[in-house]
Chains A and B, each alone.
Chain A
Amino acid sequence: MSSTVASLDMPSGEEYLLPSRQHITGFGFYLYLLSDGILFASLFAVFAVLRTATDGGPDGHMLFSAHNAFVETACLLTSSFTCGMAMLACDRRNKFVALVAFLVTAVLGIVFLTLEVHEFADLISRGDGPDRSAFLSSFFTLVSTHGLHVTCGLLWLGVLLVQFLGRGFTPAMLRRFLCFSLFWHVLDVVWIGVFTFVYLIGGYL
């Protein structure tokens, strides 16, 4: 166990009066995530407004595969669950389980991203890229903003795991893992909106 606690926490005499550093970081990150939710909400609003602006091109019924979206949903949901398992392992200071659970999270995230990039490449190769219509512009903006978040999350997780191998359960690592897990769960919440409003309502109705 590391002994560098004092430098990272509040002075020990005041720790019951002041919130802990982990609390402050967690709350700040939570506020960032809420603002990210507003970003996604405005992209959802754009998609809802431009849903019928297909300029004579293909609409959601012709383009979207619910099967693909279902596999993507399963990957992201399970990765959110394994991320939670990793956080529980962090609580118990179980390094091996935490590492394995985070690695599963990362692999599922990579599978999700691969499926999404494959879908985008398929659409663009058929001439239905973001330049085809306002509807497709809004679709690519919304879904790829989510995909970009997932990409950043994977890079972040990779860096965290390298640090974790060297440092173990320091307070700083636990704080970073906490922020990462909040970020990852919120991405899954956003994805619920994507598969419902883009792939199901846009693809079937």
Chain B
Amino acid sequence: MTTHQRHDPPRRGDSRTPGLESPEAHGSLRGYIIGYLAAIALTIAAFAAAPSTSMAPFSIKAALAVLAIAQMLVHLIFFLHINTAPAQKTNIMAFAATMLIIAIVVIGSMWIMGHLNHNMVPMNRLMQMQR
């Protein structure tokens, strides 16, 4: 019975693991600093744009949504190290499936509930009808 005793330093997984990659690829100090600075810039832009009175409310909402998505991407790329490398195919597929479910849940809910609200008899008229 041989015991596999190894004394080399343990590896931090391989390139297919989220958050893990070979040292030469990503996960460097530089990557974290770039991600941190980009996230700070996008956060400040969002907080500066929100109280603006010179833009139409709809364009502010659109700008904030774009800034949020951009910052989420910055986090995913620089902090979570999700990229399009061939070795990460499984991760990307799982991520894409999750995004599809999230889109169906969020957009579908807002769509259906918006229509329901629109088609519903206003509450004061409903109460008059019940008298």
Interface range on chain A (Cβ under 8 Å from partner)? 35 or more
Cβ A66 vs Cβ B109 within 8 A: no
Q: Is B125 an interface residue (CB 8 A)?
A: no
Chain B residue numbers with a CB within 8 Å of A91 are 12, 23, 27
Cβ B19 vs Cβ A6 within 8 A: no
State the main secondary structure of chain B at its contact with A: helix
Cβ B98 vs Cβ A45 within 8 A: no
Interchain CA distance A13-B3 in the complex, whole Å: 12
Chain B interface: which of A125-133, A158-166, A187-195?
Answer: A187-195
Chain A residue numbers with a CB within 8 Å of B40 are 77
Cβ B17 vs Cβ A66 within 8 A: no
Cβ A80 vs Cβ B79 within 8 A: yes
Cβ B72 vs Cβ A201 within 8 A: no
Contact surface of A with B, Cβ cutoff 8 Å: 1, 3, 5-6, 8-9, 11-13, 19-20, 22-23, 26-27, 30-31, 34-35, 37-38, 41-42, 44-46, 48-49, 66, 70, 73-74, 77-78, 80-81, 84-85, 87-88, 90-91, 93, 169-171, 174, 178, 181-182, 185-186, 188-189, 192-193, 195-197, 200-201, 203-205
State the main secondary structure of chain A at its contact with B: helix
Interchain CA distance A4-B125 in the complex, whole Å: 74
- What is the chain A residue whose CB lies nearest that of B50? A200
Chain B residue numbers with a CB within 8 Å of A48 are 106, 109-110
Contact surface of B with A, Cβ cutoff 8 Å: 3-14, 16-20, 23, 27-29, 32, 35-36, 39-40, 43, 46-47, 50-51, 57, 60-61, 64-65, 67-68, 71-72, 75-76, 79-80, 90-91, 94-95, 98, 101-102, 105-106, 109-110, 113
Cβ A45 vs Cβ B71 within 8 A: no
Interchain CA distance A27-B40 in the complex, whole Å: 29
Interchain CA distance A149-B91 in the complex, whole Å: 23
Interchain CA distance A11-B76 in the complex, whole Å: 33
A49-B113, A88-B29, A188-B75 known; A38-B50 Cβ under 8 A:
no
Cβ B91 vs Cβ A178 within 8 A: no
Cβ B12 vs Cβ A84 within 8 A: no
Cβ A27 vs Cβ B18 within 8 A: yes
Interchain CA distance A182-B19 in the complex, whole Å: 7
Cβ A66 vs Cβ B3 within 8 A: no
Cβ B16 vs Cβ A19 within 8 A: yes
Cβ A38 vs Cβ B71 within 8 A: no
Cβ A45 vs Cβ B72 within 8 A: no
Cβ B106 vs Cβ A185 within 8 A: no
A143 to chain B, nearest CB (A): 16
Which 10 A-B pairs give the minimum distances between C-beta atoms? A22-B13, A26-B17, A45-B109, A196-B68, A171-B10, A41-B102, A200-B50, A6-B4, A34-B98, A49-B113
